[in-house]
Structure 1
Amino acid sequence: MSSVSLPAGNSSTQPSPIQQAAQSILSGATGSTLDVNTLVAALVTGNTAGRASAIARQQQSDNAVLSSLSTVKSALSALKTSLEGLADGSIFSQFAASATGKGIVATTSTGAAAGSYSVYVEQLASANQISSKPFAHDTALGSGTLTIAVGDATMSIDLDAKNNTLTGIAAAINGSAHNPGVTAAVVKGSDGEHLVLTSKQTGAANTVSVSGTNGLDAGLATANFKQVTAAQDAKLTVSGNPVTSASNVVKDALNNVTLALSPAAVGTTQTVAIEADPSAIGKAVQNFANAYNAWVGTHRQLSAFDPATRQAGPLLGDSMLNSAVNGLSRILASGVTVDGKTYSLGQIGLDLKHDGTLDFSASKLQAALASNPASVSSVFNGKNGIGQQLDKVLGEYTLTTVGQMDKRTASINEELKSLTKQQGELATYQQTLTAQYNAQFTALNRLLTTINNSKTYLNALFGGNGAAGTLNKRG
């Protein structure tokens, strides 16, 4: 049986479970029945409480670290994401497009090149619309097959007494799964009802036509429809070169540049300029500064110590966190040499403050972009650019499975599994120990009861403890 150290007694406090158990033994030896349950519980607790407490403390610590690691990884991942476009340089090859007048909205996509172009818009693309001759309301238009075509695409509708009115025809056209790209509507004019068909697509090739088999009203033929709007392509010139487009969104005239045309542009000549997009670069750098400052706030909170409450953050003194902090800070504090000239972040609008955060100056960045845009790009994505250096280091921590964060997390989870197993083993040991002590002290209790009964018998026989004694009376 393991030995248990008893704490010093104190008359002003309640005795501990061990002390109570000891007193129970003493009272049992002097004639009282042992309190076996209290005694056993105290001894089992004395043997296992330390280990149980140690396991619980380690579990609490591991779970706190796990939660903190998740927070750290989230902050580092956000910082890595903020470098997209900066580290690979793609943000510096983005261009913005603008037009000098109204009616042209120019936008760019990846791969656009800088330049200035004269654009004259002669006409817009339009969708063909045709209208039938007038019919009286609910006029039956015969039976047969009606064919609707838009350009080379066609659809056929079988008409009979159930659907051979204008309303029935319009519903059949709009509801057909084989609709070639036309919408139908019934317009009620002063002269009667008209079936109006409109191509869903603009362009000269998307002309709407109608034909029908014998048995259908002759009014359901293209010859009996009047043209409301002609199908036509957009026509424009770009730097003197003629361009036609079936759509008013012109995508092929300039590489990776889209020109959206509206009526205000017709008959006008405008200049479309494709230039580097400093606002996109400024936004990207601002996002990077915000993400870095968020990272600084995160690691400070998790590694702080509050002297007033004497509470320490779960990652105070953590070597992996310190390594990440020092590695990233060192990169930001170092200059970047480009073509023999060294640049610092401060020269492009990012000042590293004493508290470790970044202060971003949009005006300083824009000035650097205006005077030497290549240097700004090189600071981030050159061979030794800050963006590339940061991206590499961040990857070492945040990559799934193989990154340091995931490896550390996996290790702690394994430790938690081991602690859970130890808890189970300790619970089993407690049960075994309880059974063992119960058996031992139940036997001791029986022995003390027997001794007590024997003492009572002897006192009654020989006298003592206030009894005269049976044998003494005989004398």
Structure 2
Amino acid sequence: MSTINNTSVNQATSSARNQVQQAAQSIISGSTGNSSMDVASLVSALVNAKTAGQSAALQARQTTDNTTLSAYGALTSALSALQAAIKNLSDGTTLSTFAATASGKGLDPKAGVGAVPGSYAVEVKQIATSQSLASAAFGATTPLGTGTLSIAVGGKSMDIAVDSKNNTLGGIADAINKASNNPGVTATIVTGTGGAHLVLRAATTGAANTIDVTTSNVQNDAGLAALGVKSTPGADGAASTFVSSDSTKAWRQSEAAQDALLTIGGIDARSATNAVTDAISGVSLNLSRDAIGTTQTLTIAPDTTAQNTAITNFANLYNTVVTTVNKLSSYDKTSKTGGALLGDSTLQTIKNSLASIIGGGVGKGTSTVSLAHLGITLKGDPADGTLVIDSAKLSSALSTAPARVAQLFNTTDGLGAKLNRSITEFTRTGGIIDARNSALNADLKSVTAQQSKLADYATQLTKQYQSQFTALNTLMATMNNNSAYLTALFGGSKSAGALATNK
């Protein structure tokens, strides 16, 4: 980098000298009676000669500083990505994750925080459902009368005013769905061979969420009063029952309100929803009809797939850091150019620190565990420094020696914890990277100030030289005119003057 900058300074200085030599020729031409001086070119060349070297040096410093800042930005990004990847390895989260699997369909188990290894026999007797009621058949556009329709679901209720504008089945359904205080019921119209039916469905599953409909202040009744229905939750999560206000125009229950009922290891469990989250610590079950009537084996075991992915991702991102460091500190013999941070002590400190952690182990003596025990080793070329992953050995270690893996990534002095602390120290405010960036930014500020002063100096010098050489140009023009007059009057070496010829 410094070789390139020195070259640019030398080139700028050499170019300035050439411009001065070319411009100076105009003075010689002007003083020997030829064309007048090129004042603009001469002034520009002289000012450039005075400032070119310093200007090029400042520009070179500016370029170097910005290149170095960009290099540290790339390094910080790589370190931050690695730190994000090791977070769950350093705090123990990844190695405490479990996978839940079922031997059949319809359980869809998920293991989360708090799960522990184990095996359970799960029998699903029924799943949770929401109540659905269908009224008797009416004419789709028949006015049913006016009054008030009160609808309650799970202890919450609303009143629907039925008037001449909405007293058909469609109008009532629309009013229910648009009500701002709807307690959790949807209404649709289903038309069959016997006519149109009002279908009400509770939005929430569970035995407690039954639907009640009552009518009041009914006038001009043509069916409105028959829309009353009273539902009763089933005992112990069993199916709900109902009674219609008019048995001749009775409602029909197409689906009952009921809880999910299941046994886990012979223990009865019940849930108002099919997302069962409180039956097994740290495990959720998402039930569907496929599970009804079968006894399945639910297995909770360490999630080696997620652990494998996390450790592999960590190794790959560490390699990204190493590759970035190698590129920034490299030297190309062909072009004789170095990386942006070639020879940089801060980069070397970071490189050595990370390499020491990765190459070391956790524990003492024969109980020491290293990445090599997981099938992760350094590449053959010591100068490379990247890691090579043997996926088969890593999978085997996770399955057969989980204690060793846990030791290597323990939350106190494990590999992830050490790397996390080290990277935090490097990238924190006031850390070595921040200190280096602050110094570079301070130098850039200084360069900008010097460039401003140099520009002011160049402007002042231009005005000075413009005035001086304009005057000189005028003087030389006058001298040349006088010389031509005297030659014409007295003659020269090749001609006789006017006085000599009496002209």
TM-score normalised to structure 2 length: 0.86
Matched residues in 2 for 1:339 and 1:132: separation? 79
User: How far did residue 425 of structure 1 move?
Assistant: 2.1
Partner of 1:208: 211
Q: Confirm whether residue 275 of structure 1 aligns to residue 301 of structure 2.
A: yes
SS in 1 for 2:496: coil
Q: Confirm whether residue 304 of structure 1 aligns to residue 327 of structure 2.
A: no
User: How far did residue 187 of structure 1 move?
Assistant: 0.6
Letter of the aligned partner of 2:313 in structure 1? Answer: N
User: How far did residue 208 of structure 1 move?
Assistant: 0.9
Matched residues in 2 for 1:166 and 1:407: separation? 75
Matches within 5 A, 1:4-15: none
What are structure 2's unaligned runs of at least 5 residues? 1-10, 230-243, 245-249
Residue of structure 2 aligned with 1:391, choices 417, 420, 429: 420
User: How far did residue 382 of structure 1 move?
Assistant: 5.0
User: How far did residue 336 of structure 1 move?
Assistant: 1.8
Residue of structure 1 aligned with 2:33, choices 7, 27, 31: 31
- Label 1:143 to 1:404 Cα distance change in 2 as closer, same or farther (>3 A): farther
**Larger deviation, residues 184-193 vs 20-29:** 20-29
Contact 2:308 2:398 in 1 (8 A): no
Matched residues in 1 for 2:38 and 2:101: separation? 93
User: How far did residue 137 of structure 1 move?
Assistant: 1.9
Partner of 1:10: none
Matches within 5 A, 1:214-363: 214-215=217-218, 217-222=224-229, 223=244, 224-337=250-363, 341-353=367-379, 354=381, 355-363=384-392
Contact 2:103 2:298 in 1 (8 A): yes
Contact 2:119 2:297 in 1 (8 A): yes
Matched residues in 2 for 1:286 and 1:167: separation? 60
Partner of 1:101: 104
Residue of structure 1 aligned with 2:432, choices 391, 398, 404: 404
User: How far did residue 80 of structure 1 move?
Assistant: 0.8
Superposed CA deviations along residues 151-185 of structure 1, whole A, max 9, x for unmatched, are: 10112211111111111111111122211111111
Partner of 2:241: none
Contact 2:43 2:465 in 1 (8 A): yes
Aligned length: 461
Contact 1:338 1:378 in 2 (8 A): no
Q: What root-mean-square deviation, in Å, do the aligned CA atoms of Structure 1 and Structure 2 show?
A: 2.2
- Label 1:387 to 1:123 Cα distance change in 2 as closer, same or farther (>3 A): same
Letter of the aligned partner of 1:316 in structure 2? Answer: L
Superposed CA deviations along residues 99-158 of structure 1, whole A, max 9, x for unmatched, are: 222221211111212222222222111111111111012111111221111110112211
Matched residues in 1 for 2:461 and 2:493: separation? 39
Matched residues in 2 for 1:43 and 1:274: separation? 84
Residue of structure 2 aligned with 1:147, choices 147, 150, 162: 150
Partner of 2:458: 430
TM-score normalised to structure 1 length: 0.91
Contact 1:338 1:379 in 2 (8 A): no
Partner of 2:403: 374
- Label 1:402 to 1:163 Cα distance change in 2 as closer, same or farther (>3 A): farther
Superposed CA deviations along residues 352-394 of structure 1, whole A, max 9, x for unmatched, are: 1133111112322233234432221111225322211111111
Letter of the aligned partner of 1:327 in structure 2? Answer: S
**Larger deviation, residues 113-122 vs 465-474:** 465-474
What are structure 1's unaligned runs of at least 5 residues? 1-6, 8-12
Matched residues in 2 for 1:91 and 1:463: separation? 107
Matched residues in 2 for 1:453 and 1:363: separation? 98
Partner of 2:239: none
Matched residues in 2 for 1:162 and 1:409: separation? 74
Partner of 1:40: 43
Letter of the aligned partner of 2:48 in structure 1? Answer: T
**Larger deviation, residues 201-210 vs 86-95:** 86-95
Superposed CA deviations along residues 212-266 of structure 1, whole A, max 9, x for unmatched, are: 2122521221114222211111111222222111111111111111111111222
Letter of the aligned partner of 2:93 in structure 1? Answer: S
Matched residues in 1 for 2:346 and 2:170: separation? 74
Partner of 2:174: 171
> Percent of pairs identical after alignment?
47
Contact 2:369 2:407 in 1 (8 A): no
Contact 1:338 1:375 in 2 (8 A): no
User: How far did residue 20 of structure 1 move?
Assistant: 2.0
Matched residues in 2 for 1:383 and 1:210: separation? 62
